[in-house]
């Protein structure tokens, strides 16, 4: 048994058992992948994959149980590498952060700027993705830190920490009739076409729930991934917008007006998440602390140690 065989088991599950994709991911040939699988099955004395001819269809029962152990072994192997680098190259290395567009665009710029001042030799990789992809990259070890509002707090193999709380707000073109409506109501908002976020992004579920609780069906004429696109189409008079309030910049969005309405849409909490058991370098803890001073290394370590591991989720 060797690490390449273990990596093949993991990649096979990730690549939906397509051996060509597994080979590409591991920089080897399809025939090499097949040989490693056969050698491992012969050594263990059990079949790890279900097959149709030469094609893999999935994992057998022992294969599924082995995958859990493989994930843990490969995680710890990577932890050893990070541990050594922590002492040999304390302020050098790579930090991979994955966040939704809203967080990357509006919440993290000041944090990243300060981090790079403190750690100029650390290569910071910032990925933008949806919540489900963020979870996937954290669990696979492709990312060190995830930042999002949705999904992160619901996965038991992730350690999640509250980052900050925010509200949605309404944006309108200057001179729009809603400027004079006091107090702003859901009924007044629903009188106009609405442009807002896609389902599953940036608190959209909370927007939908607020209207549903009021028995109102809003006319959502367009949805988008990020606030910049929403603002563009509000400026084109396609409708009024509902965005995260921190996405409005009065110095730049001069043709728009922000209508704050925390009484209409409930508070949202953005989380910082880590994979349970993933070894973090000291500069990673410092990044988290720059996000939220309350989350210093001691607080994060204490939070991690207090959360149980569930290997099945």
Write out the two tokens for 41: 């099955």
pLDDT tens profile 29-51: 888 888 989 888 888 899 999 99
Which tokens sit at 246?
A: 């921190």
pLDDT tens track for 278-287: 888 999 999 9
Buried b / exposed e over 223-258, threshold 16 CB at 10 Å, is ebbbbebbbeebeeeebbbbbbbbbbeeeebeebbb
Sign of the C-alpha dihedral computed for residues 186, 188, 189 and 193 taken in this order: positive
Q: pLDDT value at position 155?
A: 87
Q: What percent of the chain has pLDDT over 90?
A: 62
User: What are the Cα distances from residue 133, in Å, to 110, 129, 162, 275, 302?
Assistant: 24, 6, 19, 14, 27
Please tell me which residue, 91 or 207, carries the higher pLDDT value.
Answer: 207
Q: How many CA atoms lie within 13 A of 275 on its CB side?
A: 26
Q: Check residue 88 and give its pLDDT.
A: 65
Residues 6+ apart with CB under 8 A from 124: 94, 95, 97, 112, 115, 116
**Given the DSSP bridges, would you call strands 93-99 and 122-128 parallel, antiparallel or unpaired?**
parallel
Alpha-carbon distance of 300 to 288, in angstroms, equals 9
User: CB under 8 Å to 203, separation ≥6 — which residues?
Assistant: 149, 150, 168, 197, 244, 265, 268
91-165+269-305 domain in CATH 3.40.50.300? no
Report whether pLDDT(308) > 80: no
Token duo for residue 293: 């001073």
Q: Could you tell me which of 297, 275, 278 has the C-alpha nearest to residue 287?
A: 297
Cα separation, 211 vs 186, in Å, equals: 7
Q: Which fold has domain 168-266?
A: D-Maltodextrin-Binding Protein; domain 2 (3.40.190)
- Parts of the chain belonging to CATH 1.10.10.10: 3-72
Q: Are 270 and 164 in contact (CB under 8 A)?
A: yes
Tally Cβ neighbours within 10 Å of residue 207: 22
**Interval 254-276 mean pLDDT:** 94
pLDDT in tens, 118-145: 999 999 999 999 999 999 999 888 899 9
- The answer to whether the bond into 135 is cis (omega within 30° of 0) is no
Note the pLDDT of residue 183: 92
Stated pTM of the model: 0.75
Tell me 142's DSSP state.
S
Q: pLDDT tens digits for 205-253?
A: 999 999 999 999 999 999 998 899 999 999 999 999 999 999 999 999 9
What is the reported pLDDT for 153? 81
Residue ranges, comma separated, of all CATH 3.40.190.10 domains in the chain are: 91-165+269-305, 168-266
User: Which CATH number is 3-72 given?
Assistant: 1.10.10.10
Of 226, 266, 225, 221, the closest CA to residue 240 belongs to 221
State the average pLDDT over residues 307-312. Answer: 50
Q: Kindly tell me the number of DSSP H helices and DSSP E strands found in the chain.
A: 12, 12
* Residue pair 264/210 in contact by the 8 Å Cβ criterion: yes
Q: Which of 109-118, 153-162, 290-299 has the lowest mean pLDDT?
A: 153-162
């Amino acid at each position: 048994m060797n690490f390449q065989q273990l990596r093949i088991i993991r990649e096979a599950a990730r690549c939906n058992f397509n051996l060509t994709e597994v080979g590409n991911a591991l920089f080897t040939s399809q025939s090499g992948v097949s040989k490693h699988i056969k050698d491992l099955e012969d050594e263990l004395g059990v079949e790890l994959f279900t097959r149709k001819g030469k094609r893999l269809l999935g994992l057998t029962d022992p294969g599924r149980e082995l995958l859990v152990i493989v994930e843990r072994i490969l995680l710890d192997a990577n932890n050893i590498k990070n541990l050594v680098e922590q002492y040999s190259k304390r302020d050098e290395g790579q930090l991979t952060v994955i966040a939704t567009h809203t967080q990357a665009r509006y919440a993290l710029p000041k944090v990243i700027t300060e981090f790079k001042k403190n750690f100029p030799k650390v290569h910071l990789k910032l990925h933008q993705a949806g919540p489900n992809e963020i979870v996937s990259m954290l669990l696979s070890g492709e990312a060190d830190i995830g930042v999002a509002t949705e999904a992160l707090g619901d996965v038991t193999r992730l350690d999640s920490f509250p980052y900050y709380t925010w509200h949605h707000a309404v944006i309108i073109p200057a001179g729009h009739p809603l400027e004079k409506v006091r107090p702003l109501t859901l009924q007044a908002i629903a009188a106009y076409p609405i442009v807002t976020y896609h389902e599953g992004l940036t608190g959209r579920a909370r927007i939908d729930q607020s209207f549903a609780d009021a028995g109102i069906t809003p006319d959502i004429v367009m949805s988008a991934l990020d606030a910049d696109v929403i603002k563009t189409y509000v400026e084109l008079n396609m409708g009024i917008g509902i965005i995260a309030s921190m996405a409005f910049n009065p110095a730049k969005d001069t043709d728009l007006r922000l209508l704050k309405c925390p009484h209409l849409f409930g508070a949202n909490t953005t989380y910082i998440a880590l994979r349970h058991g993933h070894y973090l370098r000291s500069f990673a803890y410092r990044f988290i602390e720059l996000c939220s001073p309350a989350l210093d290394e001691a607080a994060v370590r204490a939070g991690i140690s207090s959360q149980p591991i569930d290997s099945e989720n």
